[in-house]
Amino acid sequence: MDTKHQRRHTRISFQTNVDLKFNNKGYSQCPTQDLCLSGMRVLDCLDQQTGDECEIEFHQTGMVNNRLLRLKGEVVRVDDQGIALVFTGMNFNSYTNLQSIMIDNAEDPFQIAEEFLEQLPANQ
């Protein structure tokens, strides 16, 4: 098996719009393609380079609540359709909102829940 292309986390199809703020440019309402515990794919942000850091913000509205996520990210891949971002920082509220979004949209919510539990630090 080719481990180079194995993903660390389950990726879910996830379409929403995000705002990105880089040092050199801001993007408003960019569409996303997918999401995982460690990052997301954002379309139409074509002027960035691998290694560029950004602030990410998006809302996920639902029937019960409106989840606001504010994260920090870094560009890890660029192609002719957009960029792949890895999450480099988030507060606890954004982390729990990310968990809820992923569980709500996953084909296998138990797999997503297990991945989140694996990320928790061991009790010392």
**What whole-number distance in Å separates Cα of residue 116 and Cα of residue 43?**
26
Burial of 120 (C-beta count, 10 Å sphere; 0-12/13-18/19+): exposed
**What whole-number distance in Å separates Cα of residue 6 and Cα of residue 4?**
6
Q: Which residues pair with 73 in a beta bridge?
A: 54, 87
The model's confidence at residue 10, banded by pLDDT at 50, 70 and 90, is: confident
Query: In the prediction, which pLDDT does 7 show?
Result: 53
Q: Residue 103: which H helix or E strand, with range?
A: helix 92-105
Q: Dig out the tokens for 72 from the structure.
A: 């920090």
Query: In the prediction, which pLDDT does 22 show?
Result: 96
pTM, rounded to two decimals: 0.83
Residue found under tokens 């991945």: 115
Domains along the chain with CATH numbers: 12-102 (2.40.10.220)
Query: In the prediction, which pLDDT does 72 show?
Result: 98
